[in-house]
Amino acid sequence: MLGAHHIKVGNLARTSASVEQLTDAFGELCADAANRHGSPLTYELMPFDINAASLDAVLRIVQGAAAPNGGICLDTWHLGKMGITPEDLRVIPNEYLLYVELSDGQVENMPDHSRETTRFRRLPGEGEFDIAGYVRVMAEIGYARPWGVEVLSDELRALPMSQIFWRTVETATYQVEKGLKP
C-alpha cells in the first residue's frame, strides 16, 4: 500500500484541455487510484494551470468527476497570487477540501504566469498574504485535516536543516493557532 495522506495532481506541463476533458480524466484517474490504494487524489489549484486557473474551474472538475476519493488541494501562495481572498473560499463544499498547504509571499514581486517560485515564497506569516484568515475560513467551512507547508525558497534552503525545521514549525503553528482563535 502507498500509505500517503493524499496525492496531488495538476497541469504542471501546461497541456491544453477543456474543463470537460479534465473532469473526465480526473474521474478516470480517481477510479483507477481507488482500485490501487486508499489515498485520495487532490486537484491543486494553481495560477499557471492554463485550463483551470480559477477556483470555479477546479470546483467544476472535482464536483463533475464526483469521485469519492477526489478533491481539491489549496496552497495559500497560489491563492494569494491569484487574488483569491479567504472569504472567496466559502464556496468550497467541505467534502471536496482535502488538503491545504501554507506558504506566503508578496504579489508585487511575482512575475505573471511564472512557475518560478523559489525567489518569491516565504514561510507562513512572513509575506503579505492573510494566512490566518485563510486558516480561519477553511476551519469555518469544516476543514479539519492536516495542514502542510510548501515553501520553495532558495533562501530557506541555504539554512541549516534544524533552522529550517524550527522556523517552519514556529511560523506555521503561529498562523494556524491565530486563525483558529475564536
pLDDT tens for 83-116 read: 999 999 999 999 999 999 999 998 776 666 555 5
- Which range has the top average pLDDT, 4-18, 38-52, 107-121? 38-52
The alpha helices in the chain, defined as continuous H runs, are 19-34, 55-65, 76-82, 131-140, 154-157, 161-180
Whether 11 has a pLDDT exceeding 90, the answer reads no
Name beta bridge partners: 148: 101
| Percent of the chain whose pLDDT exceeds 90 | 79
More confident residue, 42 or 109: 42
Q: Look at residue 38 and tell me whether its pLDDT is greater than 70.
A: yes
> Does residue 128 lie within any of the structural domains?
yes
Based on its alpha-carbon atoms, the radius of gyration of the chain, rounded to whole angstroms, reads 16
Q: Pick the residue with more confidence: 27 or 155? A: 27
Query: Structural domain of residue 15, as residue ranges?
Result: 7-180
- Does 135 map to a domain? yes
Computed over every residue of the chain, the mean pLDDT equals: 92
In a domain, 1, yes or no: no
Query: What's the rounded Cα separation, in Å, for the pair 75 and 65?
Result: 21
pLDDT of residue 1: 55
Tell me whether residue 161 is in a domain.
yes
Total of domains in the chain = 1
Residue 175 lies in a domain: yes
Taking a C-beta distance cutoff of 8 angstroms, is the pair 55, 91 a contact?
A: yes
Q: CA torsion sign, 19 to 100 to 137 to 109? A: negative
Q: What is the pLDDT of residue 123?
A: 96
Is residue 146 over pLDDT 60?
yes
Q: Say whether pLDDT at 76 is over 70.
A: yes
Residue 2 lies in a domain: no
Q: CATH number for the domain including 28?
A: 3.20.20.150
